[in-house]
Structure formats: structure tokens, C-alpha cells
Amino acid sequence: MEDNEIKDYFVTKNGITFAGTHLIIDMWGVDRLDDIAYMEEILKKCTESAKATLLHIHLHHFTPSMGVTGVAVLAESHISLHTWPECGFAAFDIFMCGDAEPHNAIPILKEMLKPEKIDIKEELRGITSNK
């Protein structure tokens, strides 16, 4: 893809042009993972801190004492979550393009969920050039 063909939400950082940053976050030793209202609050705060534009949140509660799964649909892409309260485990995927700052969501997740252990992987999606 030529530079003049790159669409408006591709970014260039450190000489690399790409569609967006995808963070894969696994957390263990977490409480309140069955609290759907709290999960919605977390998604809203993560979106705000990342300077992203919230379009819609859809969450599903499997039973009153079980996990939550859902997504915050953003103009810049999405944040998804899946929780296993019985294991104290939560998985978040944060994929954002444009000027959004997905790394800003990490301190929010740490503060609100207080994980005993956290694993974060980063993938640059849609790399078009690497200078």
C-alpha cells in the first residue's frame, strides 16, 4: 500500500505505519467479576482514559453468580471482556486505531480490578510499512 492510499485511521509511530494497537490482557486473582454494572463502569473508564469514542456497550451475564462477557464498540475499534469469577480470571482485548491511546486503559484495569497477576501482550495490527 502506498502512503497516499493509507486510510485516515492508520498511524505512524517509530517509523512503522499500522492500523492499530491490540492489547491482550490476562488477569488473575480478581474479584467482582460477576458484577455486570461494575464491568460496564470499567469499560466506560477505560474508553475515556484511552481518549476513544464510545458507540455502544453490550454485556451478557451468564447467571447471577457466573461470568460476564461483552464488548464496548468504539469509533476506534473495541474493548472486549470475558470473566470467570469462579477462577478469579479476566481476559480483556483492547484494539484501537487512530489517535486513541489504548495503553492508558491499563492503569484503570489495575486500579479497579486489583489483579494479583497480570500478563499484557501487544500486537501492531495491519502493518503497512516498517522503515
The active-site residue out of 61, 80, 82, 129 is 82
Catalytic (active site) residue 97: yes
Is 25:94 a contact under the CB 8 Å cutoff?
yes
The active-site residue out of 22, 46, 78, 97 is 97
How far apart CA 81 and CA 131 sit, in angstroms, is 34
How far apart CA 104 and CA 121 sit, in angstroms, is 14
Q: Which residues form the catalytic set?
A: 77, 82, 97
